[in-house]
Structure 1
Amino acid sequence: MLSVGDAAPDFDLVDQHGRSATLAQMLGRRIMLVFLPLAFSGICANELQQLADDRPLFVTAGTEVIVISVDSMFTLRAWGDEADTPYRLLSDFWPHGRVAERYQAFDSATGRATRTSVAIDENGTVRAVFSAAPDRARTTAMYARALAMFDERA
């Protein structure tokens, strides 16, 4: 199980524009990885909109939000354009769900990511992990609590 204090697993994915994204490239910044089950689904669309609405919370905390789903880069491009999201959407399409598995955020029974979020500090250390049930969105309060963990002593 991924726990607070663990080194976050590196990954190498592409975003909705085909650009490479690795955790190693992001070291030196605070990151909030947000795993979403499926693009264009109702709860995921609502969560993506809520993340956009909560952008000031993340900016104040100096944290970059990175969304990951098992959808293809092309699906994520269409979804990102439709949603007009300010965030990078990373495709964990192939090998299917490999990064989600590394983060214990993959449901092998459904072949989708779980609703898991992981706060990673500038050194690549996990500072918070939280999840919501498949039929429930994560809340602003959950993110606020996780962001507060960046300022807690390890």
Structure 2
Amino acid sequence: MQELIAVGDRAPDFTLPDQNNRKVNLVGLSADRRVLLVFFPLAFTGNCEGELALIRDRLPEFENDSLTTVAISVGPPPTHKVWSSAQGFLFPLLSDFWPHGAVAQQYGVFSERHGYPLRGTVLVDRDRTVLFADVAEAGAPRDATVWERALRLA
């Protein structure tokens, strides 16, 4: 795993398909709001489902006039479509499928050993400056305080 992107770094732009196969890019997302990037290992897994359900259940905190939130994993758009429909996730689930994990690698949250991103949380300002960055160890859930620390800066 590469080193986690640092606070103060410029967040790399990316363009990825969402669960509806629409192209989403960081430059467009950050044009008028801060962006919370929520990297997760895999759809249809317990910890990931619980974390994204928290976002779903508290959506006004994660999606408002000053902040937008996207979740990113290596799963393909059709998988994300089925999962997001079943779970009622109304925020974008972006597919970092090919090149496999390239965006997660740029942000320093990709586990080569596992072949998927770890639970990374990165808050990006409108000028693409990283305001917050955290990553959980492989197999570990996101620290319970991560959401509050990131949202406080949003």
**Given the two structures, how large is their TM-score scaled by the length of structure 1?**
0.90
SS in 1 for 2:145: helix
Count of residues in Structure 1 that have an aligned counterpart in Structure 2: 150
- Between the aligned partners of 2:65 and 2:51, the Cα distance in structure 1 is 19
Is residue 7 of structure 1 aligned with residue 7 of structure 2?
no
1:107 paired residue number: 111
Whether contact under 8 Å (1:57, 1:144) holds in the other structure is: no
Cα pair distance change 1:139/1:87, threshold 3 Å: farther
Q: Deviations over 1:18-59 (max 9, x none)?
A: 100111111221100000000001111111111112223224
Deviation at 1:76, TM superposition (A): 0.5
Cα-Cα RMSD: 1.6
Paired residues for 1:1-154 under 5 Å: 1=3, 2-28=5-31, 29-59=33-63, 62-139=66-143, 141-150=145-154
Q: How far apart are residue 140 of structure 1 and its match?
A: 5.3
Seq. identity, %:
38
Aligned-partner Cα distance in 2 for 1:23–1:79: 23
Q: Is the 8 A contact 1:34 1:117 kept in 2?
A: yes
Query: Following TM superposition, by how much is the alpha carbon of 1:61 offset from its aligned partner in structure 2, in angstroms?
Result: 7.6
* Structure 2 unpaired stretches of 5+: none
Tell me the CA shift for residue 122 of structure 1: 1.0
Contact kept, 8 Å, 2:56 with 2:88, in 1: the verdict is: no
**TM-score normalised by structure 2 residue count:** 0.90
Q: Residue by residue, what CA displacement relative to the aligned partner does 1:50-78 show, whole Å, maximum 9, x if unpaired?
A: 11122232246821110000000111111
Give the distance between the partners of 2:30 and 2:65, measured in 1 at CA.
Answer: 16
Are 2:63 and 2:69, in contact at CA under 8 Å, matched by a contact in 1? no
What stretches of structure 1 of length at least 5 have no aligned partner?
none
The range that moved more, 19-28 or 117-126, is 19-28
Q: Is the 8 A contact 1:61 1:147 kept in 2?
A: no
One-letter code aligned to 1:17:
N
Deviation sequence 1:98-142 (CA, Å, 0-9, x none): 000000010001101110010001111100001223333325531
Residues 96, 59 of structure 1: CA spacing in aligned structure 2 closer, same or farther, 3 A cutoff? Answer: closer
